[in-house]
Structure formats: C-alpha cells, structure tokens
C-alpha cells in the first residue's frame, strides 16, 4: 500500500497535509532523493543520504536531523507500506512560512512517500528504449538534487511527444546527462561517461555501474562525450534508481549500433541485478 509522512505524522499518500504556504510547494525551495527498496532493504541507502545531506548543505538548508533518527523514519515508512519492493521519495524543504523570497526562520519540512516500484515496461529493458537529444537548459548547479526540475520536465515531455523514453541533454557540444538519468556510451568495449562536475548529478546508479565495471575489469572512462561520439557509439545506456541500467538503441533518427541492446550493456544489466539481489538478500 502507498503511504506517506509529513512533519512527524504518517499519513495516506493522497491526504491533503501540506499547507499552501509551504516553500517546496511555492518555490521548489528544497531537495529530494529517490531510493529503491529491494526485498525490504534499501539499496545504497548511505550513498543516497550522503547526497541528500550534501544537497541540503549546498542550498543552505538547516537540515540537522541526525542520520540515525532520519533513517528510523524511513524504516518505519517502509514497514507501514507492507511492501517488499518499493520506491521511497524523500523531500526536505525550507519549511512553512508566509510567501517571501527571503529565508524564513522556520523548521524544515520533511515529507516522504513509499510506493510500489514505478514500473518501466519490461520491453524497454529487454529491447532497449529510444531517446532524443535536447539542449541542456538547466542552471549551473545540477549536482544539487533540487526540487526545481522545470527544464528537465520540459525536455522529458519533448522526448515523450517524440515517442521516446528520455532526452539526452547536451551543453557546448558535449553530453551532460539525461533529464532523470546519467548517460554512458560504449566504444571498442570502453565505457565512457561525463565526468562529475556541477553540470550533472552524481548518480548513485552511476556509482554502482562504475564499481561493477572496475570489478569486472571493463575500462571505464570519465571524460566528456561529444554529440558525434554518441551517434557513433557501439552501445548507449542510461542509469537511474528507477530505470536501473537501460539500453538506448536509437537517438533521434539514428540507430545505435545495430539497434539492439549491446552485449556489454546486457552484461552490466545482469551484474546490476545480481548486485541488488546480493546486497538486499536475507541475512
Ligand atoms: N541525473 C538526473 C538529472 C536525475 O534526476 C537522476 C535521477 N535521480 C539521475 C541523474 C540518476 O541518479 P540516481 O542513479 O541516483 O537515481
């Protein structure tokens, strides 16, 4: 069952609990995380929390709740959902205060939801998905997982209108990331992905894939990828918490490789699945 939490109370996921004067609602003045729970156990929880605390600090959000007590709420929410496989959404905002651009002297708001896995059709995972290319029109601090997602939404909607799953964003002729994913190209059995900088989010799934590649001795290069390299790649894939490792078999009108998910992408998908199963297995 879907359940939610808002400022100290567990509530129904559709309950109207957020007052109008709430800064997340009015300004998108906050940060968030999406964490996947497999077999009742959060996957890479510490890494997600590290990023959440980092994002909060980056926007000067006074989120000083101890990690242990914050985790306790997450675990309670998971338990209340009665679900084994679910997505937990966490949001911290600058709180409840009459609308004014200046920071209020108010406690932060914490909201969470727990919902069944958002399912991406299995055929995408198996046969690959399509993407469009789109200019990256976002701000200069995309390493912060901010609630402000308007440019991401606009680009994703363009992708959807074109019958595609994702928009791959580019800045100065080079790829940055997807609207809600990191992007990788494979050429001559080498994985390449945009280096971490303020222009992209340090994806947790990206980190998992990097560890997998290193363990399997697959060359993994963090370096800028030009648009032409995307089109000429042998394989392309994207990663995110909810889409895991997703093959991209067409960008715009151009087929990638032979238009089928490539062998290395398949291998990474299998390794990723094995990792999520292994680290969330019953003790
Ligand atoms: N980049 C952006 C812009 C995203 O929104 C996401 C999804 N949170 C990602 C990358 C992938 O991050 P993760 O693997 O941590 O879900």
pLDDT at 143: 98
Q: What is the mean pLDDT of residues 58-74?
A: 96
Is the pLDDT at 282 greater than 90, yes or no? no
Is the pLDDT at 34 greater than 90, yes or no? yes
Residue identifier of the C-alpha nearest atom 9 of ligand 1: 181
Is the pLDDT at 129 greater than 80, yes or no? yes
pLDDT at 118: 81
CB distance 201 to ligand 1 below 6 Å: yes
Among 116, 131, 161, where does a domain finish? 116
pLDDT digits (tens, 9 = 90+) for 97-118: 999 999 999 999 999 999 999 8
Is the pLDDT at 90 greater than 80, yes or no? yes
CB distance 87 to ligand 1 below 6 Å: no
CB distance 176 to ligand 1 below 6 Å: no
Is the pLDDT at 121 greater than 90, yes or no? no
Burial class (CB within 10 angstroms; exposed 0-12, middle 13-18, buried 19+) of 89: middle
- Whether residues 131 and 237 share a domain: the answer is yes
- Whether residues 152 and 269 share a domain: the answer is yes
Tell me the percentage of the chain whose pLDDT exceeds 70.
100
Q: Give the chain's domain count.
A: 2
- Would you list the DSSP string of 23-35? HHHHH--EEEEEE
CB distance 49 to ligand 1 below 6 Å: no
- 153: tokens are 């939404």
Measure 230 CA to ligand 1 centroid, in angstroms.
Answer: 19
Q: What is the mean pLDDT of the chain?
A: 97
CATH of the domain at 42: 3.30.470.10
pLDDT digits (tens, 9 = 90+) for 137-186: 999 999 999 999 999 999 999 999 999 999 999 999 999 999 999 999 99
Measure 205 CA to ligand 1 centroid, in angstroms.
Answer: 8
- Whether residues 46 and 165 share a domain: the answer is no
The catalytically annotated residue of 9, 71, 130, 145 is 145
**SS3 of residue 269 by DSSP:** helix
Could you tell me which residues are beta bridge partners of residue 182?
A: 239
pLDDT at 67: 96
Instruction: Assign 119 a pLDDT band (cuts: 50, 70, 90).
Output: confident
In this prediction the pTM is 0.97
CB distance 205 to ligand 1 below 6 Å: yes
CB distance 180 to ligand 1 below 6 Å: yes
Pocket residue to mutate for ligand 1, from 120, 176, 180, most atoms within 8 A of Cβ:
180
187 in catalytic set: no
Measure 203 CA to ligand 1 centroid, in angstroms.
Answer: 5
Q: What is the mean pLDDT of residues 218-234?
A: 98
- Whether residues 225 and 251 share a domain: the answer is yes
Domain around 17: 3-116
Query: Distance (Å, rounded) from C-alpha 242 to C-alpha 210?
Result: 17
CA 210 to chain centre: 16
Among 68, 85, 116, where does a domain finish? 116
Q: Using the atom order of ligand 1, give the atom closest to the CA of residue 177.
A: 1
Question: Which ranges of the chain would DSSP assign to H, the alpha helix?
Answer: 23-27, 45-58, 67-81, 122-127, 150-161, 204-215, 227-231, 263-279
pLDDT at 283: 76
pLDDT at 204: 98
């Amino acid at each position: 069952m879907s359940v939610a939490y808002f400022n100290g109370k567990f509530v129904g996921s559709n309950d109207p609990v957020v007052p109008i004067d709430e800064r997340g609602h009015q300004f998108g003045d906050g940060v968030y995380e999406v964490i996947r729970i497999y077999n009742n156990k959060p996957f890479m929880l510490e890494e997600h929390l590290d990023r959440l605390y980092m994002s909060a600090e980056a926007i000067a959000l006074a989120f000083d709740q101890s990690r242990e007590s914050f985790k306790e709420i997450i675990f309670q929410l998971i338990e209340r959902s009665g679900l084994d496989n679910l997505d937990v959404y966490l949001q911290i905002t600058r709180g409840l205060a009459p609308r004014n651009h200046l920071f209020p002297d108010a406690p932060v708001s914490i909201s969470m939801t727990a919902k069944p896995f958002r399912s991406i059709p299995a055929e995408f995972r198996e046969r690959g998905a399509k993407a469009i290319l789109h200019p990256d029109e976002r701000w200069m601090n995309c390493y912060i997982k901010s609630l402000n997602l308007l440019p991401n939404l606009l680009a994703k909607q363009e992708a959807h209108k074109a019958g595609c799953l994702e928009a791959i964003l580019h800045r100065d002729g080079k790829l940055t990331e997807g609207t809600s994913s990191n992007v990788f190209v494979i050429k001559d059995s080498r994985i390449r992905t945009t280096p971490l900088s303020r222009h992209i989010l340090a994806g947790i799934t990206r980190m998992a894939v990097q560890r997998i590649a290193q363990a399997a001795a697959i060359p993994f290069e963090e370096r800028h990828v030009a648009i032409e390299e995307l089109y000429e790649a042998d394989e392309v894939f994207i990663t995110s918490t909810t889409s895991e490792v997703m093959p991209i078999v067409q960008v715009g009108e151009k087929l990638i490789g032979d238009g089928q998910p490539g062998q290395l992408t398949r291998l990474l998908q299998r390794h990723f699945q094995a990792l999520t199963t292994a680290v969330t297995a019953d003790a």
